[in-house]
Amino acid sequence: MLPQSRSTPDLHDSATPGTDAGRHHPGLIVAVFVVASCGLAYELIAGALASYLLGESVLRFSTIIGTYLFAMGVGSHLSKYVDEKALLARFIDIELMVGLLGGLSACALFLVYAWAGSPFRVSLYALVLLIGVLVGMEIPLVMRLLHQRKQAFEALVSRVLTFDYLGALAVSLLFPLVFAPLLGLARTAVVFGLLNAGIGLWLTHRYRAELPQARALKLRGLLVLAVLLAALAWAQKLTDAAEAGLYGDSVVHRESTPFQRIVLTRWQDDTRLYLNGNLQFSTRDEHRYHEALVHPALAALPQARRVLVLGGGDGLAVREVLKYPQIEQVTLIELDPAMTRLFRDTDALAALNAHALRDPRVTTVNADAAQWLETAAGPGWDLIIADFPDPSHYALGKLYAVPMYRLMARHLAPGGLIVVQSTSPWYAPRAYWCVDATLREAGLHTAPYHASVPSFGDWGFLIAGREAGYRPPSALPAGLRHLDARTLAQMFDFPPDMRAPAVEPNRLNTQMLVHYFEEDWSRQMR
């Protein structure tokens, strides 16, 4: 028998099992790719938004993923109740609903958080649940549609799963490297919503012959598309308004990078830096933090010539280091090139660090600190300053782990010291003393101290070295705004209600520091 002409394909192709019937239905295969891509994108956006607005939390990110996967399971179960005769029409309707909800999700959550506050968590998980249910229905429906078209079971499963996983891979790479940095979370969500709506419209046109209500579907699709295009045009203005409400002060700079969300605000003479929604410094009191971070260690090292700064891409710690005329070399290791570029090339921000990043003694390297230390060669450093963000999740917790501190110790010159910002001994006592225990587990002797920084409260630091016997210096550089000999001596005194609790060191396989940090700070949140 002669094969059917490809110029007149039959939508109800009766090819026998085992034939490559899927090639007659490329729209459905493309739909699988889009479904997987968009589904993962909405999950990543929800997790990133939660981290940005509520603070980074392993528990929060895990519950978002768990809720989303649970919802997909519910959706898969509900898909079996869709009438066999209406599979394609319902699949298109679901695509349009996912596109609308997912596309507007980031804008809506930004606005809820900025203007309503408390309902944010409920709104977040409700959206995750609803989108997850809809996405969970899509793949089973596609498989049933392909089965209707007599695709062999083996080919059906392999093809659907292949494109499902390829879509997930594409988004997992493109989201942090392209979409989030270039478009921001709100517009990224809208773009993926447009993909969902676009595939729905395309399928409506492609299979219009077997859709009794193709015209109505097309009109719904065009309406969703119009709403999303309007959202795309207004997304940045909406998020700008939300951020203005979130921070209270005027936002003078905002930037999304592959690593974080950078926001700078200004009110009168106060400039503030936020990373992922977390305050990093206020110009009204940052001198207290950075003087406490640098001078107790560096002033005790009159022989110091070479200093290594890990983190601190704003250059404020480097500014304090350069107050010592004997310093010959400072190397700054900062992961995010956007940070060092911003605080080196923007005149107003460079003035905050006294143009430290332009000093010929300073070398800036944009790299992961742990990886850089593993390959770095040359003579040891007299002082290593670890000014990392707080250990709020595992990726940061590893920077406070025993192997990291042993690695730092290997790069110390004889008599050299390490100083680590160590969160608050008052608000997060177990986290603070865990850092102390970890340094000691790495074979180092420690000297704990703390300082009052109004923007943060009582903040903790630790000095560590291979030799015991650290003593606070009696002399400090001229021109310090907060520290003097008397204030410095008081910083090493801990009253009875701030004594060290029993804690475990932070090892890579347990990451106890992250658990302590989350639990300690959660008790402070209301």
DSSP-derived 3-state class of residue 475:
coil
Cβ neighbour number for residue 13 with a 10 Å cutoff? 15
Q: What is the pLDDT of residue 61?
A: 79
Q: What is the pLDDT of residue 1?
A: 41
In a domain, 168, yes or no: yes
Quick check: pTM over 0.85? no
Please identify which residue in the block is written with the tokens 């079996």. 80
Domain's final residue, options 226, 247, 268: 247
Instruction: Tell me the CATH number at 60.
Output: 1.20.1250.20
Residues 323 and 435 in one domain: yes
**Cross-strand pairs, 307:** 330, 383
Q: What is the pLDDT of residue 151?
A: 59
**Cross-strand pairs, 386:** 310, 420
Question: Which residues does 3 contact at the CB level (< 8 Å), separation at least 6?
Answer: none
Question: Per DSSP, which regions of 334-425 are E strands?
Answer: 362-365, 381-387, 412-421
Give the residue from 46, 41, 185, 184 showing the smallest Cα distance to 128.
46
Which amino acid, residue 479?
G
Residues 213 and 290 in one domain: no
In a domain, 170, yes or no: yes
* Count of domains observed in the chain: 2
Q: Tell me the Ramachandran region of residue 390: left when phi exceeds 0, alpha when psi lies from -120 to 50, beta otherwise.
A: beta
In a domain, 274, yes or no: no
Instruction: Tell me the CATH number at 317.
Output: 3.40.50.150
In a domain, 86, yes or no: yes
Pick out the chain residues at pLDDT < 50: 1-24
Cβ neighbour number for residue 82 with a 10 Å cutoff? 17
Positive or negative CA dihedral for 274, 280, 285, 290? negative
**What single-letter DSSP state applies at residue 411?**
T
- Nearest-angstrom CA–CA distance, 341 and 36: 36
Which amino acid, residue 190?
V
Q: What is the pLDDT of residue 525?
A: 62
Residues 236 and 323 in one domain: no
Cα–Cα distances in angstroms (integers) from residue 167 to residues 21, 62, 164, 271, in the given order: 22, 22, 5, 42
In a domain, 266, yes or no: no
Question: Which residues does 338 contact at the CB level (< 8 Å), separation at least 6?
Answer: 255, 257, 259, 262
Radius of gyration of the chain (CA): 28
Residues 229 and 81 in one domain: yes
Residues 239 and 313 in one domain: no
In a domain, 275, yes or no: no
Residues 34 and 149 in one domain: yes
Residues 199 and 294 in one domain: no
Q: What is the pLDDT of residue 173?
A: 82
User: Which structure tokens are listed for 264?
Assistant: 């700078």
Residues 242 and 290 in one domain: no
Q: Which residue segment(s) compose the domain that 37 sits in?
A: 21-247
Q: What is the pLDDT of residue 20?
A: 41
Buried b (16+ CB within 10 A) or exposed e, 51-70: bbbbbbbbebbebbeebbee
- 327-375 confidence digits (pLDDT tens): 999 999 999 999 999 999 999 999 999 999 999 999 999 999 999 999 9
- Nearest-angstrom CA–CA distance, 303 and 415: 9
Torsion angles phi and psi, residue 7, rounded to 5: -75, -15
The residues annotated as belonging to the active site are: 387
Q: How many residues does the chain have?
A: 526
Residues 230 and 324 in one domain: no
In a domain, 16, yes or no: no
- 7-64 confidence digits (pLDDT tens): 333 434 333 343 444 444 666 777 778 888 888 889 888 888 887 777 666 677 788 8
Q: What is the pLDDT of residue 154?
A: 59
Torsion angles phi and psi, residue 64, rounded to 5: -65, -45
Question: Which residues does 330 contact at the CB level (< 8 Å), separation at least 6?
Answer: 306, 307, 308, 309, 318, 321, 322, 359, 361, 362, 363
User: Which structure tokens are listed for 326?
Assistant: 């004997």
Contact present, 460 and 393 (Cβ < 8 Å): no
Domain's final residue, options 219, 247, 275: 247
User: Which structure tokens are listed for 230?
Assistant: 């309007």
Domain's final residue, options 199, 222, 247: 247
**What single-letter DSSP state applies at residue 178?**
I
In a domain, 478, yes or no: yes
Residues 172 and 72 in one domain: yes
Residues 156 and 101 in one domain: yes
Residues 424 and 378 in one domain: yes
